[in-house]
């Protein structure tokens, strides 16, 4: 998991980590309003009680759709941002298959995605996020850019071990 790499690297960097909440579900259908609000409220309450913080890291999937909105993670990130304010770094790790929305992109300072499928680099992605966040805490502000392809690659062709995707992740 991304969080495991983040915890490991964050500890090496000497940061005091303040866990809020961990939950998981297999990707399947819409998240119900009740489930979404229960988890979001718990997370935001914990976050508010931990303030002030130097930074926030979230290990998300990136393709959540709820029965009341299309951009579950975008809404969650906006709510997190409303608690922490505009100046606290917000770094997020995401699945390779994330559906990154303009709201997610605008709200988070950094989005770090897995580069492999099967996902053998989850912990590495968390470590990368921790290293970026560590640099941000010393004043480095990364730039960001987003480009969306006009097509989707079918899941059966997304394996990064073979062509057609493998040549693109080597760089």
Average pLDDT over residues 112-132: 96
- Which of 34-70 are b and which e, b meaning 16 or more Cβ less than 10 Å from the residue's Cβ? eebeebbeebbeebeeeeeeebbbbbbbbbbebeeee
Confidence check: pLDDT of 28 > 90: no
pTM (2 d.p.): 0.93
What is the percentage of the chain residues whose pLDDT exceeds 90? 80
169 or 96, greater pLDDT: 96
- Tell me the pLDDT tens digit for each residue of 58-75: 999 999 999 999 999 999
- Tell me the pLDDT tens digit for each residue of 36-49: 999 999 999 999 99
């Amino acid at each position: 998991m991304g969080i495991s790499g983040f915890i490991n690297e964050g500890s090496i960097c000497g940061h005091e980590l303040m866990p809020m909440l961990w939950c998981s579900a297999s990707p399947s259908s819409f998240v119900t309003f009740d489930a979404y609000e229960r988890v979001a409220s718990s997370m935001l309450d914990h976050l508010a009680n931990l303030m002030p913080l130097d930074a926030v890291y979230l290990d998300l999937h990136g393709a959540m759709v709820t029965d009341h909105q299309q951009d579950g993670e975008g809404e969650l990130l906006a709510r997190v941002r409303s608690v922490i304010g505009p100046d606290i770094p917000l770094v997020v790790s995401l699945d390779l298959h994330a559906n990154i929305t303009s709201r997610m992109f605008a709200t988070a300072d950094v989005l770090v995605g897995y580069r492999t499928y099967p996902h053998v680099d989850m912990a590495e992605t968390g470590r990368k996020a921790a290293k970026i966040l560590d640099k941000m805490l010393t004043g480095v502000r990364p730039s960001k850019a987003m480009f969306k392809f006009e097509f989707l690659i079918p899941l059966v062709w997304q394996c990064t071990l073979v062509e057609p995707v493998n040549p693109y992740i080597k760089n």
